[in-house]
């Protein structure tokens, strides 16, 4: 898996967009970018993933730079319930077999009033 670098913590005001960066400068051509989050004392929750195109779902948007060396997870209107640790993971998806997904230390996002 390619190494990723995330800021240890960020703050965001409620109602504003939260932009969480991830650097993955050694990403290879067949590695995807995955984002998960973990709310305190719960299991991680899958958010979104992408290869090279920008992706959007009901939870968030993922913007991947053209050279794929970095990406940004965007929560368009952050709420207090979005306070969590956000993990950026880069890996080649295991096809037809189980994953060996590993988590780093992530970014602790604090959404405030």
Partner 1 sequence: ETGVTQTPRHLVMGMTNKKSLKCEQHLGHNAMYWYKQSAKKPLELMFVYNFKEQTENNSVPSRFSPECPNSSHLFLHLHTLQPEDSALYLCASSQAKGQGSEKLFFGSGTQLSVL
Please give the residues from 5 up to 44 whose contact with partner 1 meets the rule CB under 8 A: 32, 34, 36, 41-44
Contact call for residue 56 and partner 1 (CB under 8 A): no
DSSP string of 50-72, one letter each residue: ESSS-EE-SS-EEEE-TTSSEEE
Stretch that binds partner 1, among 12-20, 56-64, 65-73, 100-108 (CB under 8 A): 100-108
Task: Match 């989050």 to its residue by tokens.
Answer: 37
Among residues 16 and 46, whose Cβ is nearest to partner 1?
46
What does each C-alpha distance from 75 to 17, 88, 93 come to in angstroms? 6, 14, 24
Q: Which residues bind partner 1 (CB under 8 A)?
A: 32, 34, 36, 41-46, 49, 89, 91, 93-106
């Amino acid at each position: 898996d390619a190494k990723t670098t995330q800021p240890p913590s960020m703050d965001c005001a409620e109602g504003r967009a939260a932009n969480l960066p991830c650097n993955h400068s050694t990403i290879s051509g067949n590695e995807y970018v995955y984002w998960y989050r973990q709310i305190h004392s719960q299991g991680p929750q899958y958010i979104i993933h992408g290869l090279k195109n920008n992706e959007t779902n009901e939870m968030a948007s993922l913007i991947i730079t053209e050279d794929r060396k970095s990406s940004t997870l965007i929560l368009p209107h952050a709420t207090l319930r979005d306070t969590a640790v956000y993990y950026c993971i880069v890996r080649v998806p295991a096809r037809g077999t189980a994953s060996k997904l590993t988590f780093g230390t992530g970014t602790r996002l604090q959404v405030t009033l």
